[in-house]
C-alpha cells in the first residue's frame, strides 16, 4: 500500500495482463453519473448505452448516449431497480459491459452476478466483495476480525439512557436513507419502524441496526483502487462532514486539519479492509473520527462515490477510466499517482434548506455556471480551475421520482483557501432559473468562519442553519429591492420597446406629484413582497415609492432593456441581467448580477380573491406520494407538531405535522395516493379552550 501525497504524474493502470477489451458500456443509472461515465467512454473510444424511465425520456444522459433502452414506468422499483430489465437492455443494445454508477443497484451482489451470468463484464468489484460489504452488520464483523476500529452494534431491546444518543441505520444501501438519530428512548421504537419502512422502500431490504451516535464527529473517507494482481492504491482521504439528513453536501480533499498520524491510520485501515475482502476496482472506506481523534469504521462503499471528482482533481487520475481498465484485467502500477493541491466539491440540489430541505420539482429554465474549465473530466494539467458535473441542462423538468441533485461543482487550487474562494465565487454567479436551490446555503457555508478555519463536524449545517438560510445580513432586503426595481424596469422595456434594446439612457431621478406605475413582486423563497413605484419621462426615471412602496433615493437609471438594466446606486454602477418567464403561473422573473441574484413571482396590482381552504388545513408542501399515516382518525385530538402522515418525494421522506393543537376533523390522505403541491391532506380544528 502506497499513499499519494506529492506532485501528480497522472498515471493510470498499465495494460499488462489485459484479459478482455470492452467495446460498449451500458450504464445502469441515470443523470449526472451516467453522463460522467459516458464522457470517459467517449475518450477511450467505447460506445455507450443509456437506460431511461419514462420521466427521463428527454434527459441529457439519454440524448448523449449512442443508444438508449426504455424501462417502462417511473418508480425506481419498476425501472432502475429491475436487474432483469437492465441486463436485458444491455444484451439487446449489444453492450458487452455494465457500469452501475452509484445508488440504485450499484451495491447489489445479485445484480453483479446477473451481469456476469449474461456474459457481460461487470465494471465493479467481485460480487462476493459486494455482498460482504452489502450488509453493514456483516461488514462490521469482517472489519472487526481484520483489526479495523469500529463501533459495536447495540441491542435495541437492551439500550438505556446512558447509551444515548443512538443512530439507527439501514443494513443495506446508503445515502442517508433508513437512518435516524435517536436522542430519547421513548422515540426509539418509532424511529426503528420508520427506518425499516424507508430502507425497504429504497433498497428492498428493511433490516436496520443500532449503534452509538458520535456527537461532534467528522466524516472522513478513504479512496481506494485495487486490481486483480494484489495491488492496492490508497488515493488519499476526503472530508465529508457537511451533511444534511446524513447526506453529504460539501466534500474536500485532503481532509483539512487532521494529524499526520491519524491520516496514516486511516489509510492503513482502509488498505486492510480492501485486502480482507479481496476487493478490486474503485471503492471507498468510510470512517467517523471522534472529537478525541479516534477513527471508527462506518462502511465500505463498493462503488464509485458521488464525490470522486475531488480525488481526480488532486491526483490527475480518471477513476472511471481506471475502473474500466481494471475490469478489463489491467494491472495497476506499483505506486499510485501522488496528489497536489486542494479540491472541494459542492452538491447543488433543487431543495429549500429553510423549509426542512423540501425538494423543489419544476421546470429548470436556465442552468449556467460561468468560467467552467471542464465538464466530467480531470482539469487540464490540474491547473487552478473549475469543473462541472451536471445531471441536467436548461430546459429540462425536475421531477419528483428521483434524487433532487442538479449538479456537482468542483474547484481545484494550490491551497484550500483559494479552492474555497473559487468555488463560492462560481456558485454565487450561477444562473439558476427554476426551482429553489440550496445555492445560497452553499455559498454562505463556504464563507462561514468556522468552515474557513476547518472547524468541521457532521452537525455543522444543523448548528448553523438559521444563519445559513436566513437573510444574508442586513443588506439582503436592500439589495432585493434593487433587483425588484430592475425587474420592473425590464418589464416596462419589454412591453414598450419592441423595436430596439435600449429604452432610456443616463436618466436622472426627481420627485414628481403624478401617479407612478406600480409593480409588485414576491421574493422566492423568503416570501418578502416588494412594491415598486416609478414613472418614465423625458428626463429619465422618476422614483415614487408611494405609501408602503420602496424608497429609491440615491438611485439613477443608466439604461434599461428587456433583459438588462443598469443602475447607478449611490455612485456605483450595477448591471442586472433579467429573465422573465411569462408562460408560468404566476409569471416568474430572475435577476442576476454579482451584486445580488433574486427570483420573484409577479403579483397582481390588486390581489384577487383566493380560494379558501379550511383553517388548520395541512397542505402538501410538494408533489409526492403518501407512504404512511399515523394512528389517527377524524375526531381524535392531536397536539401541535405531532406527525400525522409521511410523504415521499425525490427519494426522501417528509413528515407532515399537525399545524395546531385541536381536533382532527378531516383526513383526506390515503396511503399510496399521489398528491400535488397545495393539496389538502387533513384539517385540524384549533382548540380554543383556555
- pLDDT value, residue 542: 66
pTM metric for this prediction: 0.85
- pLDDT value, residue 5: 35
The answer to whether the CB of 468 falls within 8 A of the CB of 525 is no
Superfamily for domain range 123-133+216-469: ATP-grasp fold, B domain (3.30.470.20)
- pLDDT value, residue 306: 97
Domain ranges of the chain: 123-133+216-469, 152-212, 475-603, 617-686
Looking at the domain that runs over 152-212, which CATH code has it been given? 3.30.1490.20
pLDDT (tens digit per residue) in 622-640 = 677 888 888 788 888 888 8
- pLDDT value, residue 505: 43
Residue with cell 426522501: 652
- pLDDT value, residue 537: 65
Q: Which residues of the chain have pLDDT under 70?
A: 1-19, 173-175, 202, 381-383, 471-477, 497-515, 537-548, 605-614, 622, 650-652, 677-678, 689-690
475-603, what's its fold? Glycoprotein, Type 4 Pilin (3.30.700)
Residue with cell 481494471: 326
- pLDDT value, residue 12: 53
- pLDDT value, residue 656: 83
pLDDT (tens digit per residue) in 20-64 = 899 999 999 999 999 999 999 999 999 999 999 999 999 999 999
Given the residues 35, 82, 218, 303, the one annotated as active site: 303
Alpha-carbon torsion (39, 40, 46, 50), positive or negative: negative
Domain 617-686 falls under CATH 1.20.140.10: no
Exposure string of 68-105, with b = 16+ CB inside 10 Å and e = fewer, is: bbbbebbebeebbbbbebbbebbeebebbbbbbbbbbb
- pLDDT value, residue 647: 80
**Cα–Cα distances in Å, from 416 out to 235, 314, 452, 453?**
18, 12, 9, 10
Our answer to whether residue 463 is catalytic in this structure is: no
3-state secondary structure of 479: helix
Question: Which of 418, 417, 454 shows the shortest CA–CA distance to 256?
Answer: 454
**DSSP run (H or E) holding 461:** helix 460-469
- pLDDT value, residue 610: 46
Amino acid at each position: 500500500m502506497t499513499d499519494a501525497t506529492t506532485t501528480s504524474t497522472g498515471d493510470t493502470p498499465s495494460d499488462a495482463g489485459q484479459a478482455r477489451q470492452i467495446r460498449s458500456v451500458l450504464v445502469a443509472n441515470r443523470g449526472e453519473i451516467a453522463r460522467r461515465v459516458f464522457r470517459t467512454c467517449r475518450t477511450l473510444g467505447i460506445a455507450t448505452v443509456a437506460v431511461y424511465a419514462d420521466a427521463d425520456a428527454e434527459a441529457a444522459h439519454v440524448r448523449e448516449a449512442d443508444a438508449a433502452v426504455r424501462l417502462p414506468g417511473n418508480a425506481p422499483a419498476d425501472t432502475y431497480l429491475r436487474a432483469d430489465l437492465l441486463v436485458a437492455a444491455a444484451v439487446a443494445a449489444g453492450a458487452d459491459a455494465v457500469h452501475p454508477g452509484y445508488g440504485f443497484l450499484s451495491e447489489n451482489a445479485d445484480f453483479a452476478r446477473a451481469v456476469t451470468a449474461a456474459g457481460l463484464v461487470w465494471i465493479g468489484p467481485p460480487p462476493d466483495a459486494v455482498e460482504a460489504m452489502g450488509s453493514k452488520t456483516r461488514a462490521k464483523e469482517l472489519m472487526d476480525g481484520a483489526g479495523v476500529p469500529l463501533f459495536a452494534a447495540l441491542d435495541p431491546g437492551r439500550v438505556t439512557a446512558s447509551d444515548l444518543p443512538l443512530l439507527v441505520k439501514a443494513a443495506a444501501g446508503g445515502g442517508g436513507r433508513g437512518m435516524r438519530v435517536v436522542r430519547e428512548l421513548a422515540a426509539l421504537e418509532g424511529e426503528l419502524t420508520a427506518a425499516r419502512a424507508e430502507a425497504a422502500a429504497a433498497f428492498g431490504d428493511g433490516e436496520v441496526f443500532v449503534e452509538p451516535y458520535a456527537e461532534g464527529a467528522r466524516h472522513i473517507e478513504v479512496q481506494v483502487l485495487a486490481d486483480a494482481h494484489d495491488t492496492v492504491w490508497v488515493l488519499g482521504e476526503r472530508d465529508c462532514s457537511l451533511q444534511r439528513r446524513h447526506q453529504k453536501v460539501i466534500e474536500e480533499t485532503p481532509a483539512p486539519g487532521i494529524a499526520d498520524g491519524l491520516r496514516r491510520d486511516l489509510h492503513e485501515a482502509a488498505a486492510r479492509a480492501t485486502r480482507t475482502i479481496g476487493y478490486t476496482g474503485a471503492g471507498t472506506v468510510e470512517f467517523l473520527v471522534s472529537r478525541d481523534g479516534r477513527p471508527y469504521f462506518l462502511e465500505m462503499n463498493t462503488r464509485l462515490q458521488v464525490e470522486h471528482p475531488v480525488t481526480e482533481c488532486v491526483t490527475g487520475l480518471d477513476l472511471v477510466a481506471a475502473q474500466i481498465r481494471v475490469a478489463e484485467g489491467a494491472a495497476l502500477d506499483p505506486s499510485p499517482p501522488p496528489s497536489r493541491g486542494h479540491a472541494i466539491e459542492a452538491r447543488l440540489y433543487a431543495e429549500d434548506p429553510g423549509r426542512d430541505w423540501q425538494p423543489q420539482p419544476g421546470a429548470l429554465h436556465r442552468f449556467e455556471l460561468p468560467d467552467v474549465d471542464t465538464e466530467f473530466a480531470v482539469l487540464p494539467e490540474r491547473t487552478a480551475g473549475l469543473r462541472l458535473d451536471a445531471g441536467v441542462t436548461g430546459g429540462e423538468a425536475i421531477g419528483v421520482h428521483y434524487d433532487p441533485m442538479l449538479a456537482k461543482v468542483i474547484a481545484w487550487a494550490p491551497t484550500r483557501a483559494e479552492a474555497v474562494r473559487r468555488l463560492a465565487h462560481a456558485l454565487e454567479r450561477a444562473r439558476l432559473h427554476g426551482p429553489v436551490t440550496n445555492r445560497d446555503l452553499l455559498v454562505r457555508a463556504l464563507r462561514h468562519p468556522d468552515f474557513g478555519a476547518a472547524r468541521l463536524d457532521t452537525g455543522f449545517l444543523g448548528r448553523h442553519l438559521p444563519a445559513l438560510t436566513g437573510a444574508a445580513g442586513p443588506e439582503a432586503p436592500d439589495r432585493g429591492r434593487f433587483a425588484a426595481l430592475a425587474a420592473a424596469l425590464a418589464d416596462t422595456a419589454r412591453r414598450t420597446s419592441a423595436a430596439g434594446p435600449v429604452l432610456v439612457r443616463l436618466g436622472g431621478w426627481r420627485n414628481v406629484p403624478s401617479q407612478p406605475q406600480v409593480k409588485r413582486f414576491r421574493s422566492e423563497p423568503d416570501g418578502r413582497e416588494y412594491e415598486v413605484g416609478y414613472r418614465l419621462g423625458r428626463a429619465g426615471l422618476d422614483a415614487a415609492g408611494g405609501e408602503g412602496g420602496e424608497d429609491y433615493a440615491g438611485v439613477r437609471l443608466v439604461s434599461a432593456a428587456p433583459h438588462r438594466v443598469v443602475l447607478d446606486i449611490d455612485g456605483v454602477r450595477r448591471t442586472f441581467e433579467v429573465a422573465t418567464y411569462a408562460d408560468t403561473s404566476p409569471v416568474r422573473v430572475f435577476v442576476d448580477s454579482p451584486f445580488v441574484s433574486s427570483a420573484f413571482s409577479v403579483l397582481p396590482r390588486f390581489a384577487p380573491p383566493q380560494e379558501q381552504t379550511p383553517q388548520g388545513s395541512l397542505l402538501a408542501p410538494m408533489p409526492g406520494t403518501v407512504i404512511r399515516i399515523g394512528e389517527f382518525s377524524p375526531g381524535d385530538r392531536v397536539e401541535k407538531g405531532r406527525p400525522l402522515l409521511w410523504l415521499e418525494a425525490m427519494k426522501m421522506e417528509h413528515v407532515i405535522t399537525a399545524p395546531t393543537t385541536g381536533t382532527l376533523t378531516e383526513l383526506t390522505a390515503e396511503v399510496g395516493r399521489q398528491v400535488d403541491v397545495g393539496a389538502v391532506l387533513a384539517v385540524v380544528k384549533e382548540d380554543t379552550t383556555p
